[in-house]
Chain A
Amino acid sequence: MHSLYEIFKRNGYTRRDFLRYVALLVSAVGFPPSFLPNAVKALESKPKPVVIWLEFQDCAGCSESFIRSTSLLPADVLLDYLSLEYHETLMAPSGLQAEEAKREAIERYKGEYILIVEGSVSPKYKGVYCTIGGKSNEEILKEASKHARLIIAVGSCACWGGIPHAEPNPTGAMPISEILKDKKVVHIPGCPPIGDVMVATIVGFVMTGREPALDNLGRPKTFYGQTIHDRCYRRPFYNAGKFASSFEDEGAKKGYCLYKLGCKGPITRNACATVRWNGGLSFPIQSGHPCFGCSEPDFWDRSFLYSPLSVVEGGFGWKKVLAGIAVGSALGLGSAYINKKLRGVK
């Protein structure tokens, strides 16, 4: 099997190029510069990782995002290096041959391959909503995960259930971690997640041989440790109370904070504001649209995408204020009446 360095060489890159990219990877994964020699050694010697990519109730958007990761590795190297032994959308074979290839890969790379799952699982009615080659998705997942070295759930569907899980959830969609309760799952949520983040997580695993540091929801701390709001370049406008009130107004043109337009940045953990999209070009807020928190659990169900956050969830309104005052006044009147009775006449 080829190591990353060998693939670089084969594609006509110099060792200088290789070192440059390794340095970039090390910083992207969030390791200190002192780790660079170790990383170089690992990527020179360790064989390329074997990846089995399963898709269930998904839209293939995460795969699209993955293959468009351009900033960490050159495109030709990337697809060569991360050898997708099985990927329903990308692989050439189909039908029984494809299933056979997967079985073989699992057999051959027992305990070594990385299992990536995209899309939510639907175990309802014995998996009738999502079957491949006559097998239910739950069965496929259990089978593939048995001997996996590392399980990565990509996209909000695989991590939290995502859009299939949203009300009323007709297919009984659920995150894969609920099926694989006894296994550790690395979550890379997002709809879709940033391609570079997926690549960096996989390469980081190759470099260290360990899964990355995770938070309590199983997300890599490096990429999901901070909220969008924390790192948003429009944060000063938020603090100053300068908001865009509609997509057409003066505030929107001036690039003011999109909070009032329903930005969920303050409660969304993702790397959009730092890593950004399309090779570091932009991210939703930069292009003038509020973040709607796609990487957070149940983002679709929390409320209307464009309703702002800080308000009372569900609204309060003057009617309830008046109702409260009316109740209080009635109680006060009653209390005063009783107290006056008990006080007696002076």
Chain B
Amino acid sequence: MKDVVFYDFVRGPLLKFALFVFFAGISYRFFRVVFLGLPADYAKPKGNPYLMAVKKIIIKPTMGWTFNEIFSRRAINFIGGFLFHLGFLGLTFFVPAHALLWKEIIGISLPVMPSLIVDILTYSALGSLIALTLHRALNPVLKLLTGKDEYFANLLVALILFTGLLANKWAGGGLYIWLLSMHMLLADLLILYIPFSRLSHFVYYFLSVGFMGWNAGKRGVSF
């Protein structure tokens, strides 16, 4: 197969299909839950639940850090998880080549990062992903909780980061197109995979953290 034909396929029809499935899939998963509805709550709230819900959605990622004793036992989860999410989201949106992609998808020009920061984010995301995966495989609690999905997702994301890194760094001759196509193919697969897996947790974050904040506001606790 001609490499350019493959390249055109993964960035053309396949990507379009994946994007459509992604947007339809995540909104399906979101609204499937939202439209289940909620029983009315007549208890008078002690604080402002709605304000608290918004506040928690914004600050929740930093809240776990205040648990010193949990942090000390699970530093790898907190630091690794933080670095990974920072890296993955940063790279998805603000790498120059990806910014062009987003321009085409949503029509908004995103700012781009300098290449030094791209490198730092890639290495830290890849490193923390490997560390988290090892931790997942070794920790008894995580062994109980982990299924095949988690390992598959981790492998997929690691390969995407790795091929992206190679495509950026490595002048690999004619293999460059294959490498780039592979990066795109894996990314397409990831985009397709997200709505069908636990990777769609980012949409439920808004729901479940929102509810947590809502409950906190209802009960008048600050945390």
Contact = CB atoms under 8 A, between A and B. Distances in A.
Is there a contact between chains A and B in the complex with CB atoms less than 8 Å apart? yes
Interface of A: 215, 217, 224-227, 229-231, 235-236, 238-241, 243, 259-260, 266-267, 269, 296-297, 302, 308-318, 320-321, 323-329, 331-333, 335-337, 339-340
B13 to A, nearest CB: 8
Contact of A320 (B20, B100, B103, B114): B20
A239 B20 contact: no
Interface in B7-65: 7-8, 11-13, 15-16, 19-37
B2 interface: yes
A81 to B, nearest CB: 31
Interface centre among B26, B98, B105 (most CB of A within 10 A): B105
A308 B100 contact: yes
B171 interface: yes
B147 to A, nearest CB: 23
Contacts of A327: 24, 27-28
Interface stretch (B78-86, B128-136, B172-180, B208-216): B172-180
Nearest to B100: A310
Nearest to A217: B2
A323 B21 CA distance: 11
13 contacts: A215-B174, A224-B174, A239-B118, A240-B114, A260-B100, A316-B19, A316-B105, A324-B24, A326-B27, A331-B28, A336-B31, A336-B35, A339-B36
Nearest to B21: A324
A325 B27 contact: yes
Contacts of B173: 225-227, 230
B138 interface: no
B177 A332 contact: no
Interface in B68-121: 95-101, 103-107, 112-115, 118
A267 B10 CA distance: 14
A239 B115 CA distance: 6
A332 B34 contact: yes
Contacts of B3: 267
Interface centre among B11, B16, B97, B113 (most CB of A within 10 A): B97
A332 B11 contact: no
A230 to B, nearest CB: 4
Nearest to A331: B28
A86 B166 CA distance: 48
A332 B27 contact: yes
Given A241-B114, A312-B101, A320-B23, 8 more contacts: A226-B171, A312-B19, A321-B105, A325-B23, A326-B27, A329-B28, A336-B32, A339-B32
A162 to B, nearest CB: 15
B34 A311 contact: no
A337 B36 CA distance: 7
B15 A332 contact: no
Given A243-B96, A312-B12, A324 B20 contact: yes
Contact of A332 (B4, B12, B16, B35): B35
Nearest to B113: A241
Interface centre among A239, A243, A326, A337 (most CB of B within 10 A): A239
Contact of B32 (A224, A241, A335): A335
A238 B107 CA distance: 21
A320 B28 contact: no
Contact of A328 (B24, B97, B177): B24
B93 to A, nearest CB: 12
A329 to B, nearest CB: 5
A335 B35 CA distance: 9
Interface centre among B2, B33, B35 (most CB of A within 10 A): B35
Nearest to B22: A324
A310 B11 contact: yes
Contacts of B16: 312-314, 316, 320
Contacts of B146: none
Interface centre among A243, A329, A339 (most CB of B within 10 A): A329
Given A312-B101, A318-B106, A320-B20, A336 B34 contact: yes
B168 interface: yes
A266 B114 CA distance: 20
A241 B112 CA distance: 7
